Structure 1
């Protein structure tokens, strides 16, 4: 098993790339790791017993709030439940896939940087 700490908790502060590509399961709370893991088709588990209450109080109406309020993805209610989810490593359900694709349209996977650059160049005209 490999563990990859958040860059702010590492001495070298380097972002997580290779570890994410090699991961079978990603455990995260919010932020870019959620979206990167989903874009790569990784099994993603949210530690609800640690973060859900805070997310529902402080991130109202954000995409992350919806993940927790509407239970998109896999949500562990305890460390034991998380172990079970890791062992099962189920695929993303259709409901969660549709939610994810609403925010990150699959037709732009792998080419979104070029699309953004083209849009920025168009603004300069």
Structure 2
């Protein structure tokens, strides 16, 4: 008999989100998210799953790979640490931490943590004045 623990459910939801996001599958990523939902990062804050994932295609256009470094799971929270390899010389490899909070097996809060300094110049270059 297999027993599913809460942390197993948390792991399944977070890994499904992470994998869907980095393969550009917005509908699959959104299915892992709860309502209400909150996203925070050094560059973006959103209360909408689609608002949070709206620029995903452009972001993935400069991502050349993602290496998961560490993953920690609890009953209603998880933290992933990973390296995002980009084709942007000013950014290079971005070390990123992502903290998730879940309610009833769905992600209701994501806090993305990274050094945004190199991204400011990139955003100025692609954002019209």
Q: What is the TM-score when the length of structure 1 is the normalising length?
A: 0.28
Higher helix share: 1
| Rg larger in structure | 1
Higher strand share: 2
Q: What is the TM-score when the length of structure 2 is the normalising length?
A: 0.27
